[in-house]
Structure 1
Amino acid sequence: MDKVIIKESVRNLVEFCLKKGHIDNRFSGSARAVDGIKAHQKLQADNERIYKNYEKEVYLTYKFEMEKSVINIEGRADGIIIEDKIIIEEIKSTYKNFAYIDDLNELHWAQAKIYAFMYGKQNKVEEIYIRLSYVHLETDEVKSFEKKFTMFELEEFTLKVLKEYENFILFINKQRNIRNESIKLIKFPFEKYREGQRRLINISYCTIKEGERLFVQAPTGIGKTISTIFPSVKALGEEIGERIIYLTSKTINREVAEDAFKRLRQEGLNFKSIIITAKEKMCCNDTFDCNPENCKYANEYYSRIRIVILDVLKNEECISSEILQKYAEKYAVCPFELSLDLSMYCDGIICDYNYIFDPRVSLTRMLESNGNIVLIDEAHNLIDRSRNMYSATLCKSQILNCKKITKGKFNKLHSVLGKINNYFIDLRNECDEKEVEWFYEAEGPKELNKILKLFLKESEEILVRGSKFGGYEEILQLYFDINAFNGTMQLYDKNYVTCMKKESKDFQLTLFCVDPSKNLKEYLSKCYSVILFSATMSPIKYYIDMLGGDEKSYRLKLPSPFKKENLKVYVSPINIRYNYRKKTLKLVGDTICSFINKRVGNYIIFSPSYAYMELLWDKMNQRNINNYKLIKQKQGMSEEEKTDFLEKFKNNNNLLVFCVLGGMFSEGIDLPGNQLIGSIIIGVGYPKIGMENEIIKEFYKENGYDYAYVFPGINKVQQGVGRVIRTETDTGRVLLIDDRYITNKYGVLLPNEWYPINKYLCDNI
C-alpha cells in the first residue's frame, strides 16, 4: 500500500500534539509580537558577537519514514552555536518575572528537540545541547537553561510526537478517502435540471478545475446554491482543492447551503460540514469574558481540544451551533474556538463574508491553505460589506471621555489624548469655517497617525499590567479602535479618502475605502478558485470591477428558468421623488388598491424608506380595503421576530405587508406558491443622499452617479421583484411605481424577462 505523504512545519506539529493551557483574552498588546521579534533579533545579534561560529534562522528539513506515512518536516531554528559543542538555541520572550520561569515548559523544549534531532541526523552527531533562552521584554535580561541530549533520546521524543500526529492525520486521510469514494457515486439530487442549471454546473466545475474566478448572474429560481455546491463537491472528489467555503451574509442563506449538503448526503455523500456562527451567539455563559478565571470553557481548552476534535469528527457530519454547544458542555471547551479548530478538518464551511475578507477577524489559518474553493452567495452585497471591512472610524466623544478618565491617574496618556482631542477640535473648526457638515481629503492623516502610535504605546504599558481601574474597559475599547484605525492606515492608498463629519454633537474621522476592489483581489488571490453569484449582478461589468475581478475573469449570465408569462410586470409612472412624495401619496394609495383588487392574495409593498412606509401605512389604514389584513415591518427585528413575521405568509391569505426596499425582507426570503403572489415597488431603490454616496459619485467621475445611486438602487428593485416567482408553478404580478422606469436609462437596466412591461394607471379601476 502506498504511504501517505504529509508535509508540516515543526511549529504546527509541536503545537498540535503538545500545546496545553487556556484561552485568555486578557490584554497583551499588539506590540507584544513586534517586541518579541526585536528581542529575538537582539539576542541573535549578541550571539553573533560572542561566538565565532554562530548561525541564526537556520532552515532545517527532514523526511521521516513512518509505518504508514512519509512526513516531511521543515522549519527554522532560532540559532545554532558550534564551538566545542553543538548548541541548538530556542528563544522565547516574556514579561514574566524570572523568578517564576523554570525549565518545565514542555512545549518550549519540544520545538528545539525536533530541530536538534533533524540537525543531528543530517550531521551524524551522537549528542547535542539545547539551550532555552528567555528574554525579558522590559529589561532585556536573558535567562537560559541548557541540557544535553543523546540522539537516542531525541529520536525517541521526535518519533513519539510524529506517531501521535500520524495517527490523527491518517484518520483525517481515511475520512477523506471515504469522502472521495462517496463523491464518485453521488448524482445530482433532483430528478431534472432547471433551464440553465446544467450549464451553470458545468461552467462552475471547469472554473474550479482551472483555478479561476467566475462571476455569475443567475435569476432567482435557477438553483444557484446546489448548482455551485454540487460541482465543487465533485471537484473535491478528484483532489481538486481541499475544502469548500460557502460565504453568505444572511442566516437564511446559510440554511439553504446546509440543506444542499444534506440533499447530497441523502444521495450517499460522506461529507463533514460546519456552520461558523458569531462568538457572541455561541457563548455558553451569560457574560462574555474569555479568560480561565471567569470561564470554565476557556480553562485548559488547549489541553482537551484534540480529544474533542476527534470525537466530533468520528460522530458528526453536519456540525451546527447546537452540536458544537453539546460537545462544549460535554468537554467544557469554548464552542466558538472549537468551531474554528474543527473547520480546519471539515470538507465544507458555511460562514459570513468577514471570516475570509475582514483583516480583523479573517481565518488566517484557513487562508494559509491554497486549496479553498470559495462560493460567494448574494455577491452583490459584498461591495458595501467590504467597504465597511476596509474602513475605520474614530469619534471625538470617545477620545474626550477617555481623556477625562485618565485625568489625575495616567498623566502621559492624558497628555496624548489631549493632543488627539485638539486634532479633532481643529477639524471641527475647519468644518465650521467651510460652513459644511462634512468634507474629505485624498490623503491620510499622517500627523494624527504619529500621535495615535504614541497612544498605543502609552496605553499598552497601562493595560498590560492587567489591574482594573475605573474606565479600564473604555480605555481598552479605544485601544482596539485606534489599533484598527492604524491597521487601516497601512492599507491607505489611492482607493481611500479621509472623511471629516459633524455627527449631532459628536465629530467623526473616517478612513473610507471608496474602492474595495484592490483589497478584495488580494484576499481572493489566496483562494484556489472563487465563484461569485447573485440573481442581481447587473450590469455585470460593474460588479466585476468592484469585486476584484478583471478582464480575464470568467463571467456567465443565465436567463430565467421560468416561463415569462408566469410573471406580469406593470409600471405606474407616478413622480415619487422626495419633494413630491406627500403630494402623490394619495395617488400611490389609489393605484395600490386598484392593483391588489385585480387579483386578491398576499402582497408586499416595498417603500423607499421607513418614513415613507409609515406615511403610506397611515394613509392605507384610513381606507376601507376589503378582504385584506395589513401588517408592517418593524425596525431592528430579531431573528425570532423575523421568523414569526414570515410565518404569517404561510398562515394567512390576503395579507398586505408593508416593508422597506433593501431591508431584511427584500432579499434572501423564500415565499413560494400563494404565500406571495405580488410585489409593489415604490421608487427606484435610490440610496439615501449622504456623505459616502456623494464621495463615491465624485470618486468615479463620469460613472459616479451610476455607481453611487443607480446601480445599487436597481439591484434592490430586482431583489424585491425576485421574491415573487420561486418555483416553476408560481405565477405572480409586480407593480413598479415611479416615472423613472419609463425612461431609457432605467429601461435598459431592467431584466429582459420582465418585458413586455405594461403601464398601469389608477383609472383602470
Structure 2
Amino acid sequence: MKEKLLFRESVRGIVEYVLKTGSLDDRFVSRGRAVDGTIAHGKLQKDNELIYENYEKEVRMKHEFHKDDIILLVDGRADGIINENGNIIIEEIKSTYMDLSYLYEDYNLLHWAQGKFYGYIYCIDNNIENITIRLSYFNINTDQVRSFDHVYSLKELEDFVHDLINKYLEILTLKESFKAERDKSIKELQFPFKSYRKGQRELAVSCYSSIRKKGILFAQAPTGIGKTISTIFPAIKAIGEGMGEKIVYLTAKTITRTVAEEAYIKLFKNNLKFKVVTITAKEKICLNNEVKCNPDDCVYAKDYFTKINDVINSLIKSNNIFFREEIIEYANKYKVCPFELSLDLSNWCDGVICDYNYAFDPRVKLKRIFEDRNEENILLIDEAHNLVNRAREMYSCTLQKSKVMGVNKIIKGKVPKLYKISNSINKEMIHIRRELEEINKKFKYHNEEYKELIKLLRAFINEADNYLVKSKGTEGYEEVLEFYYEARNFISASELYDKEYTTILKSDKSEFSIKIFCINPAKNLRKVIKNTYSSIIFSATLSPIKYYVDLIGGDEESFKLRFDSPFNRENLSTYVYPLDMRYVNREKNIDILCNIIYKFINEKKGNYMVFLPSFEYLYKVYSRYIDIYGEEGTLIQEENLSEIKKEEFLKAFNEDANIIGFTVVGGMFSEGVDLPGDKLIGAIIVGVGFPMVSIENNIISEYFKENGFDYSYTYPGINKVLQSAGRVIRTENDKGRVLLIDRRYKSPKYKFILPKEWEVEEYKFSCKK
C-alpha cells in the first residue's frame, strides 16, 4: 500500500491563494493595512472576555483533508469563539483605519472566507449543523467596532471549503511530484569541487550538525574558505533528509546575493533539482516607466491577482531558476509585476535569496514565510556583521517637526478636521521641545513614551484616511501621504517600545525631532531567529563573537565557531605604525601620514588602497598628499558615488597600473569588492575604524555599561578595519601587504582582537624633520 503524503498549510494561505483576484493597486485606498493589527485584535478580544461568559481567543484549529494519496493538514487560529447560550459564533477580526460607516456586509468576501473555514472545522469537530460567522471590523484609532453576522449550514460551509481545497491541491500535487525528483537529486548531489579548502569541510559539517540539532550557529569564516557554498550545500542536504522545508539566504548587499546565486548554479550543474528565487527590491526591478503599482498606470499591475495562479502553475512546472534576469523575462512574457511575481514564487520555491529586511523588518516582512511557516525555515545569514546596525534602523523611527509644519501649510483652510489634528501634533511637539529648553540643551534621551503624541498620530491617521482617498492629485497630496506613512511607522515602532529602547529629543535652529531608538535589537531579532528550524549566522569578520551573539539574539546554547584563514600566512605581510590617530591629534599628523603612505607604496610597486577615518579627513590627506607628491597615479573616492562612478574607480585597478586609491574605512570599497591577484596588492588603514561619535553611539555605550564603549565603538570599528584588510587577499595565490596606522593597535586590547593568524610587525619609518 502506497504511503500517504502529508502537507501542511494555513487557512489564510489557502484562502489568499485561491480566492484573491483583481489588480495590484498601491494607491492609497488599498494601502490601509494595519501596522499594528495584533494590538487591535488584542483590544477587541479583551473586551469580548468581559462581555461574554464563554469566550475563547486565538483558538488553534486544524483539520485533515484526504484526497487520493495526499493528506492536507490545514491549521490556523480563529480570532475568537463565543458560546452564547449554546449558539456558537466564530469571530473573524479585521483591523482598519477606515471610517466604519464606509464598510458593508460584503465589503470584502475574502474577509468572510477564513471565518467560514474555521466554522466548517468547528462544525465537523463538534457535530453541529449550523453556525454563526461574525465578521468584526475594528477601527484602530477610535476603538469602534462594526460587526456583521451570518448563519451558515454545514452543507454550505462544506461546499465552500472543499472547493477551496480541490483548487489548492492542484498545485500541491504538482509541487509534490517535483519534491520526489528534488530529493532524489539531493541524495545523489556531490560537493561541486574536487576537494575542500582548509576549513571548508569543517564549516559544512558544522552547518549540517547545527541544522540536525535545530540549533543556532555563529561562525566566523574568513575569506577564502568558501562560506557561501559551505552553508548552502549542507542546508540542501538537510532539506533532502526532511530537516526543514525552505532555505532562506539573507544578505545585506546585492553583490552577496550574486555570490549565492553562483553557488546554486554550480550545484545545478551537478544535476541538483531545486527551485530558487531571488527577491530584488521593487525600485530596482520595476518594468514600468515609474514605480506606480496600479492598473491605470501599469500594465503589469492590471489583473495581476486574476492571472498569477496560472502563471505560477506554468512556471514551476518547467523552471527551477528564478533569479533577477529570469524574473524579468517571465514578467514581460505574462505581463505581471516582476516584484510581486518573485514574492509569490517564494511561497513555492525551496530556496529564497533576499535582503535582511524581508525576514526582520516588521514593515516589509514576508508573512507567509516568516510568520506562518518560520519553523520550517533554515536561515543562512551572510555578512552578519551588517545585521546589528541594519536591525537598529529597522526597529527605530524619527518624527520631524518640519514635516508636521509642512502638512499644516498644505491643508490649512482646506481640510479643517485634519488641520486641527495636525496642528495639535505640532503643539504637542512644541510642548515636548520645552523639556530641552528647560535644561538649556540641544538633546536629551530617556526611556519614556509620549503617549499623547501617539494618540494624536493615531487620530491623524484615522482622519487622513478620508482625505487621502478623495484628494489624490491635489497640491501637496504626496507630502501629506509621506507624513501619513511616517506617522504609521512611528506608531509601529512605539508598539515595540520596552527597556531596549530610548526616546531621543534633538533640537537645532531649524529642526526639532523625536526619535524612537532601538538600542539593543537582540530581542526583536531573536523572535525570528529562535523560531526557525535552524539559523546559520556567518561572516568573515564576526569578532569578537560574543558581541554578535549578544546583539543578534543568540544565547548560551548557540554554537560558536571560529575558522582560521585557509591561505598561507606568509602570503599576507601585516605591519603597524604607532602614529597618534586620535581625533584630537589627526590634523597635526597629516604630513607624517603622507610620508608613511608614500614610503610604503614605493617599497613594492603595485595597486594600493588607503582607508581613512572620514571623508573630511580623506580630503585633507589627499589634498596634502598630491601637494607633496603630485596627482599622477592617484584616485579619490567622492561622496555619494553612483554605481557607474564606482565601477570606473574599480576599473582603474588593472595589474601593473601602480594606482593608489584614497577611500574611507567602512565605505563602499571596504566591503564586497573583489580585486584578486595583482589588481590590489596592499591596503593602508588609518585609525581604528571608530564609528562617528554620536548621540546614538553614546547611548549604546551607556546602555551596555562595562562593555559599552567596546560595543558602541571598538568592535564596530575593528570590524570595518578587518573588512578593509580583507580586500587584499582574495585567492590562495594572492600575496599582499597591510599597514595599520594607529598607536592603539599596540595596546593589549587590539592585540587580542586582531586575527590570530596575522603576524604583525612594527613598520620601520623615521620622519626627517
TM-score, normalising length: structure 1 = 0.89
Does residue 293 (structure 1) correspond to residue 319 (structure 2)? The answer is no
Q: CA deviation at 1:434?
A: 3.4
Q: Is the Cα contact below 8 Å between 2:274 and 2:350 reproduced in 1?
A: yes
1:182-220, Cα deviation, whole Å (9 max, x unpaired): 111112111221211111111111111111111111222
Q: Distance in 1 between matches of 2:413 and 2:533?
A: 55
Q: CA deviation at 1:309?
A: 1.1
Equivalent residue, structure 1, for 2:738: 734
Equivalent residue, structure 2, for 1:758: 762
Q: Distance in 2 between matches of 1:581 and 1:99?
A: 64
CA 1:584–1:80: 2 relative to 1, 3 Å = closer
Across the two proteins, how many residue pairs are aligned to each other? 758
CA 1:59–1:654: 2 relative to 1, 3 Å = closer
Equivalent residue, structure 1, for 2:641: 637
Q: Is the Cα contact below 8 Å between 1:587 and 1:762 reproduced in 2?
A: no
Which of 313, 319, 323 matches 2:322? 319
Structure 2: stretches of 5+ with no match in the other structure? none
CA 1:35–1:426: 2 relative to 1, 3 Å = closer
Q: Distance in 1 between matches of 2:488 and 2:39?
A: 16
Q: CA deviation at 1:131?
A: 7.8
Q: Distance in 2 between matches of 1:697 and 1:90?
A: 46
Q: Distance in 2 between matches of 1:443 and 1:294?
A: 44
Q: CA deviation at 1:355?
A: 0.8
CA 1:2–1:619: 2 relative to 1, 3 Å = same
Structure 1: stretches of 5+ with no match in the other structure? none
Which of 539, 549, 557 matches 1:534? 539
Corresponding residue SS for 2:757: helix
Q: Bigger shift: 573-582 or 91-100? A: 91-100
Q: What pairs up with 1:131-530 in 2 under 5 angstroms? A: 151=155, 158-367=161-370, 368-369=372-373, 370-465=375-470, 468-503=473-508, 505-530=510-535
Q: Bigger shift: 24-33 or 182-191? A: 24-33
Q: Bigger shift: 244-253 or 645-654? A: 645-654
Q: Distance in 2 between matches of 1:135 and 1:359?
A: 22
Q: Bigger shift: 22-31 or 344-353? A: 22-31
Q: Is the Cα contact below 8 Å between 1:40 and 1:92 reproduced in 2?
A: no
CA 1:698–1:132: 2 relative to 1, 3 Å = closer
Q: Distance in 2 between matches of 1:56 and 1:315?
A: 43
1:226-280, Cα deviation, whole Å (9 max, x unpaired): 1111111111111101111111111111111111111111122111111111111
Q: CA deviation at 1:158?
A: 4.6
Q: Distance in 2 between matches of 1:502 and 1:725?
A: 46
Corresponding residue SS for 1:622: helix
Q: Distance in 2 between matches of 1:757 and 1:100?
A: 74
1:27-80, Cα deviation, whole Å (9 max, x unpaired): 3535696899699989999x999xxx9999997654332123122345659889
Q: Bigger shift: 663-672 or 111-120? A: 111-120
Q: Is the Cα contact below 8 Å between 1:274 and 1:343 reproduced in 2?
A: yes
Does residue 560 (structure 1) correspond to residue 565 (structure 2)? The answer is yes
Does residue 19 (structure 1) correspond to residue 20 (structure 2)? The answer is yes
Q: Is the Cα contact below 8 Å between 2:119 and 2:133 reproduced in 1?
A: no
Q: CA deviation at 1:466?
A: 5.8
CA 1:162–1:515: 2 relative to 1, 3 Å = closer
Q: Distance in 2 between matches of 1:89 and 1:585?
A: 71
Q: Distance in 2 between matches of 1:444 and 1:99?
A: 33
Instruction: Supply the AA of the counterpart residue of 1:272.
Output: K
Corresponding residue SS for 2:554: coil
Equivalent residue, structure 2, for 1:595: 600
Which of 681, 684, 687 matches 1:683? 687
Corresponding residue SS for 1:23: coil
Corresponding residue SS for 1:177: helix
Equivalent residue, structure 1, for 2:707: 703
Which of 603, 609, 626 matches 1:604? 609
Q: Is the Cα contact below 8 Å between 1:274 and 1:318 reproduced in 2?
A: yes
Equivalent residue, structure 2, for 1:65: 66
Q: Is the Cα contact below 8 Å between 2:123 and 2:154 reproduced in 1?
A: no
Equivalent residue, structure 1, for 2:719: 715
Q: Bigger shift: 588-597 or 443-452? A: 443-452
Q: Distance in 2 between matches of 1:710 and 1:576?
A: 14
Instruction: Supply the AA of the counterpart residue of 1:237.
Output: G
CA 1:756–1:72: 2 relative to 1, 3 Å = closer
Corresponding residue SS for 2:26: coil
Q: Bigger shift: 169-178 or 571-580? A: 571-580
Q: Distance in 2 between matches of 1:293 and 1:91?
A: 31
TM-score, normalising length: structure 2 = 0.89
Q: Is the Cα contact below 8 Å between 1:81 and 1:88 reproduced in 2?
A: no
Q: CA deviation at 1:429?
A: 4.4
1:10-29, Cα deviation, whole Å (9 max, x unpaired): 44323322321222223353
Q: CA deviation at 1:118?
A: 5.5
Q: Distance in 2 between matches of 1:218 and 1:35?
A: 41
Q: Is the Cα contact below 8 Å between 2:91 and 2:134 reproduced in 1?
A: yes
Instruction: Supply the AA of the counterpart residue of 1:360.
Output: R
Corresponding residue SS for 2:653: helix
Q: Bigger shift: 391-400 or 460-469? A: 460-469
Instruction: Supply the AA of the counterpart residue of 1:728.
Output: E
Q: CA deviation at 1:449?
A: 2.4
CA 1:652–1:731: 2 relative to 1, 3 Å = closer
Q: Is the Cα contact below 8 Å between 2:424 and 2:456 reproduced in 1?
A: yes
Does residue 653 (structure 1) correspond to residue 654 (structure 2)? The answer is no
Q: Distance in 1 between matches of 2:264 and 2:635?
A: 35
Corresponding residue SS for 1:375: strand
Q: CA deviation at 1:610?
A: 1.0
Q: What pairs up with 1:1-12 in 2 under 5 angstroms? A: 1-12=2-13
1:646-703, Cα deviation, whole Å (9 max, x unpaired): 2332466211111110001101222111111000111111221121112222222222
CA 1:712–1:89: 2 relative to 1, 3 Å = closer
Q: Distance in 2 between matches of 1:150 and 1:700?
A: 59
Corresponding residue SS for 1:228: helix
Q: Distance in 2 between matches of 1:35 and 1:203?
A: 40
Q: Distance in 2 between matches of 1:496 and 1:725?
A: 40
Instruction: Supply the AA of the counterpart residue of 2:281.
Output: A
1:471-492, Cα deviation, whole Å (9 max, x unpaired): 2222222121111111111211
Q: CA deviation at 1:504?
A: 5.6
CA 1:446–1:4: 2 relative to 1, 3 Å = same
Equivalent residue, structure 2, for 1:692: 696
Q: Is the Cα contact below 8 Å between 1:96 and 1:136 reproduced in 2?
A: no
CA 1:469–1:40: 2 relative to 1, 3 Å = farther
CA 1:528–1:625: 2 relative to 1, 3 Å = same
Q: Is the Cα contact below 8 Å between 1:87 and 1:128 reproduced in 2?
A: no
Corresponding residue SS for 2:685: strand
